[in-house]
Amino acid sequence: MYNQFPLAKLKEVETPFYYYNMQLLEDTLGVIKTEADKYGFHIHYAVKANANKRILEKINSFGIGADCVSGNEVSASLNAGFPADKVVFAGVGKADKEIITGLENNIGCFNVESIPELEIINELAEKHGKVANVALRINPNVKANTHHYITTGLEENKFGIYIWDLEKVMDKVDELKNVSFEGIHFHIGSQINDLDSFKQLCTRVNELQEWFAERRAFPRIINVGGGLGIDYEKPDENPMPNFEKFFKIFSDFLELKEGQEVHFELGRSVVCQCGTLMSKVLYVKEGVNTHFAIVDAGMSDLIRPALYQAYHKIENLTSSLEEDKYDVVGPICESSDCFGKAVTLPKTGRGDLIAIRSAGAYGEIMANQYNLRALPKAVYSDEI
Ligand code: LLP
């Protein structure tokens, strides 16, 4: 049902562009809300995955908060209507002016990753006559079985506070007057389909809870981050991940104390399947061992295959001829500008509409202007 593209209309739009199925986004948000509400869990959408205003507004309409990693993301979330107290600001390198944006808007929480950052937030908060709510991002040293560029919760990664530094950090929190300790924050990585990694995270959180209890500190918020993976291979069979199973793990394995809230920062799993990069074939060129289908979208529009060797399902929406194999490549002057090698497609020719699926997360938002190309446009299913 979600793979029905309005072809006649799409063919009229100038390519390349991102097409967003707003019904799928809405249905996904509905399931997330229902499943999270079962346990009273709170969701903050990771804006970094896709910050389109229409998408942010839709997400906000479900009463979900915003997880931001820059001052501009904080502003974009507020502009899209997210209430300031539901905006959290994370990131390993927050600049002073970004911190000030958060303070001036009285955002809900800063997720802090180091002592020097804590000191600067305290200093700026004092200057602005505020007390900043902070959660400590702890590096849990839990391995997520995913691409090494997108694992974040290992000791070798730059993120978070090491467990052995916690004592020092909490001493600092106690000493500083303009920060208020609200909770602890974790994120082990992205595109995680092995749910055991989340069980391990729960175990680590439980151990840390004991440490905080002994210290008589109370983290009111337990933020377990994002990371739930989606099915890039079969977007039609699995248009949504199994949110029911995902949330149940945290309900089953986290040992919560009275008055604690569990927060999640889901990005990819919210928006990925609703987005498709649409492109037209410019030329088919005969290679030595393959045909090259040269399309008008490139790595500047969707960088994931070039950057992470990521797989995206590729379809020819307008041909139904006999199948052949193609290397689907873009026009950019880099050999890595390739969306897929030896992709089986119906016989493909100039002008065919090519869909690169599961591109709603980390697609348009990571687009750039390399080769001085224009940024891709967005088309929404309910506006076309
Ligand atoms: N919270 C924190 C602290 C994060 O670093 C991230 C993602 C998220 C939440 C959201 O994770 P998600 O639910 O989307 O997995 N550009 C890469 C992904 C980078 C993810 C960075 N952090 C990609 O295209 O695969």
Pocket test for ligand 1, best of 151, 184, 190 (most atoms within 8 A of CB): 190
The single-letter DSSP state of residue 280 is: E
Q: Look at ligand 1, atom 7, and give the residue with the nearest C-alpha.
A: 190
Where residue 154 falls among pLDDT bands split at 50, 70, 90? Answer: low
**Has residue 204 got a pLDDT over 60?**
yes
Q: What's the mean pLDDT in 145-149?
A: 54
Q: Residue 92: CB within 6 Å of ligand 1?
A: no
N- to C-terminal Cα separation, the chain:
18
- Residue of minimum CA distance from atom 22 in ligand 1: 190
Give the pLDDT confidence of 8-36 residue by residue, as tens digits: 999 999 999 999 999 999 999 999 999 99
Domain span at residue 81 reads: 22-271
C-beta of residue 67 within 8 angstroms of C-beta of residue 46: yes
User: Please, which pLDDT band fits residue 140 given cuts at 50, 70 and 90?
Assistant: confident
- 116-125, 155-164, 220-229, 242-251: least confident range: 155-164
Query: In 3D, which of 207, 225, 73 has the Cα closest to residue 135?
Result: 225
Q: Are residues 203 and 290 in the same domain?
A: no
pLDDT of residue 182: 98
Q: Does 269 sit in the ligand 1 pocket, CB within 6 Å? A: yes
Is the same domain home to 212 and 146?
A: yes
Q: What is the tally of structural domains in the chain?
A: 2
**Domain final position from 239, 271, 303:** 271
Looking at residues 176-185, what average pLDDT do you find? 98
What average pLDDT does this structure show over 237-251?
98
Q: Are residues 28 and 134 in the same domain?
A: yes
Mutate to test the pocket of ligand 1, among 268, 299, 309, 312 (most ligand atoms within 8 A of CB): 268
pLDDT mean across residues, the chain: 95
Q: Are residues 66 and 210 in the same domain?
A: yes
Q: In the listed set 218, 249, 271, which residue is the last one of a domain according to the structure? A: 271
Mean pLDDT of the 169-181 span: 97
In a domain, 364, yes or no: yes
Closest by CA to 80, choosing from 65, 98, 91, is 65
Answer with the residue of higher pLDDT: 184 or 160.
184
Atom 8, ligand 1: residue with shortest CA distance: 226
Structural contact between residues 41 and 250, judged by C-beta atoms closer than 8 angstroms: yes
> pLDDT at residue 144 above 80?
no
This prediction's pTM: 0.95
Q: Is the CB of 362 under 6 A from ligand 1?
A: yes
CATH of the domain at 83: 3.20.20.10
- What is the distance between the alpha carbons of residues 66 and 34, in angstroms, rounded to a whole number? 18
Q: Is residue 240 part of a domain?
A: yes
187 Cβ inside 6 Å of ligand 1: yes
